[in-house]
């Protein structure tokens, strides 16, 4: 079935960016406040799922030529990697470090390795959700 819903497609063009921005906002508010990689990833993937629903799979895959199974794998690699990274520095597995740095534009900024961990979680969530959606849609 070919869907050609102009209103939905036009709205989606705008809404996808709002959802993506909200997802990033949720992601960065994480680890000290409510938010973080998991729900950030869920929101991000909901934007992608919306794109897949409104356009067909081929169009979106042409625009975003990414294998989402690999995205999930990269995510898990980040998660386990930050855990093992702590071992290499002689700390307990999964230890996280943070520090304050003077950055040119942002001024004094707190940088934490937990962001890498959360990024891994987000990627794993996005990869998994989109892969599930795509495999179900292939079956129908």
Partner 1 sequence: MNNIVVMPMVIPLLMGVILIFLRPFVKAQRVLSMVAMIATVIATVYILNLIQSDGILRLDFGGWLPPYGILFVADSFSTLLVLTTAVVTAIILLYSFSSVGPRYENMFFYPFVLFLVAGVNGSFLTGDLFNLFVCFEVMLLASYVLITLGGRRVQLIESIKYVVINVLSSWFFLVGIAYLYGTIGTLNMAHLSVRIAEVGQGPLLTVIGIIFLLVFSLKSGLLLYFWLPGSYSAPPTAVAALFGALLTKVGIYAMFRTFTLLFYHEPHITHTLIGVMAAITMVGGSLGAIAYDDVRQIVSYNVVITVGFILVGLAVFNEVAIIGSIYYLIHDMVVKALLFLLAGTMIYLTGKSRLADMSGLIRNYPVLGWLFFITTLSLAGIPPLSGFIGKLYIGQGTVGAGAYVLLAIAFLSGMFVLYSLLRIFMNCFWGETIISEDDEPPLRNRLLLPCVLLGIATFVLGVGVEGISDYVRDAAYTLMNPEVYVDAVLNDEK
Secondary structure of residue 112 in the 3-state scheme: strand
Residue 69 as a binder of partner 1 (CB under 8 A): the answer is: yes
Residue 134 as a binder of partner 1 (CB under 8 A): the answer is: no
Residue of 8, 96, 112, 133 interacting with partner 1 (CB under 8 A): 96
Residue 77 as a binder of partner 1 (CB under 8 A): the answer is: yes
CA distances to 32, 39, 96, 100, 101 from 107, rounded to whole Å, are: 20, 28, 23, 10, 8
The residues pairing with 98 across neighbouring beta strands, listed in sequence order, are 112
Q: What is the CA radius of gyration of the chain?
A: 18
Q: Cα separation of 85 and 111, whole Å?
A: 16
- Beta-carbon neighbour count of residue 84 at 10 Å? 11
Residue of 9, 70, 98, 110 interacting with partner 1 (CB under 8 A): 70
Short-list 131, 7, 16, CA closest to 66: 131
Using CB under 8 A, count the residues that bind partner 1: 17
Residue 132 as a binder of partner 1 (CB under 8 A): the answer is: no
**Residue ranges in 6-45 that form contacts with partner 1 under rule CB under 8 A:** none
**Residue placing its CB nearer to partner 1 in the complex, 18 or 97:** 97
Residue 92 as a binder of partner 1 (CB under 8 A): the answer is: yes
Q: How far is the CB of 80 from partner 1 (least distance, A)?
A: 5
**Residue placing its CB nearer to partner 1 in the complex, 24 or 73:** 73
Structure tokens at 104: 């040119």
User: What residues line the site for partner 1 (CB under 8 A)?
Assistant: 69-70, 73, 76-77, 80-81, 83-84, 86-87, 91-96
């Amino acid at each position: 079935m070919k869907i050609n819903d102009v209103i939905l497609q036009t709205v989606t063009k705008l809404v996808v960016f709002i959802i993506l921005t909200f997802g990033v906002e949720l992601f960065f508010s994480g680890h000290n406040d409510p938010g973080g990689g998991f729900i950030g990833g869920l929101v991000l993937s909901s934007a992608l799922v919306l794109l897949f629903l409104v356009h067909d799979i081929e169009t979106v895959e042409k625009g975003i030529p990414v294998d989402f199974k690999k995205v999930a794998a990269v995510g898990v690699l980040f998660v386990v990697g930050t855990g093992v990274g702590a071992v290499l520095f002689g700390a307990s597995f999964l230890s996280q470090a943070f520090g304050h740095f003077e950055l040119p534009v942002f001024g004094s900024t707190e940088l934490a390795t937990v962001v890498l961990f959360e990024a891994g979680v987000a990627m794993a969530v996005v990869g998994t959700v989109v892969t599930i959606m795509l495999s179900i849609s292939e079956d129908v």
